[in-house]
């Protein structure tokens, strides 16, 4: 191979991955996805947070009830 053929071959091999990548990123025939509203995206997290808050409130109420029972048993009036 002569030096010019080698240079051409090297240029082609260098630019080929770039052009393949550029062509693979073309989404002109695909339809863009509909964006999901923000209130729908975080709904599972809000539900989990609400369940945790409800559980915490119940646990605090149960702890308060338990303290009252223990206080009545240790200090009868």
The rounded distance, in Å, linking the Cα atoms of 13 and 20 is 11
- Domain for residue 15, yes or no? no
- Domain for residue 23, yes or no? no
* pLDDT confidence band for 40 (50 / 70 / 90): confident
- Domain for residue 58, yes or no? yes
Has this prediction a pTM greater than 0.95? no
- Domain for residue 20, yes or no? no
**How many domains are there within the chain?**
1
- Domain for residue 62, yes or no? yes
- Domain for residue 24, yes or no? no
The rounded distance, in Å, linking the Cα atoms of 63 and 67 is 6
- Domain for residue 28, yes or no? no
Greater confidence, 2 or 73? 73
Q: What angle do CA 48, 54, 57 make, to 5 degrees?
A: 140
* pLDDT confidence band for 50 (50 / 70 / 90): very high
Q: What angle do CA 60, 66, 71 make, to 5 degrees?
A: 125
Question: In which domain, by residue range, is 77 found?
Answer: 38-77
Q: Which ranges constitute the DSSP H helices of 1-77?
A: 3-24, 38-41, 43-74
């Amino acid at each position: 191979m002569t030096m010019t053929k080698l240079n051409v071959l090297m240029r082609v091999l260098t630019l080929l991955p770039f052009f393949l990548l550029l062509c693979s990123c073309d989404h002109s025939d695909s339809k863009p996805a509909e964006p999901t509203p923000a209130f729908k995206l975080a709904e599972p997290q809000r539900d989990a947070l609400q369940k945790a808050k409800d559980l915490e409130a119940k646990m605090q109420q149960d702890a308060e009830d338990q303290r009252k029972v223990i206080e009545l048993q240790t200090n009868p009036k």
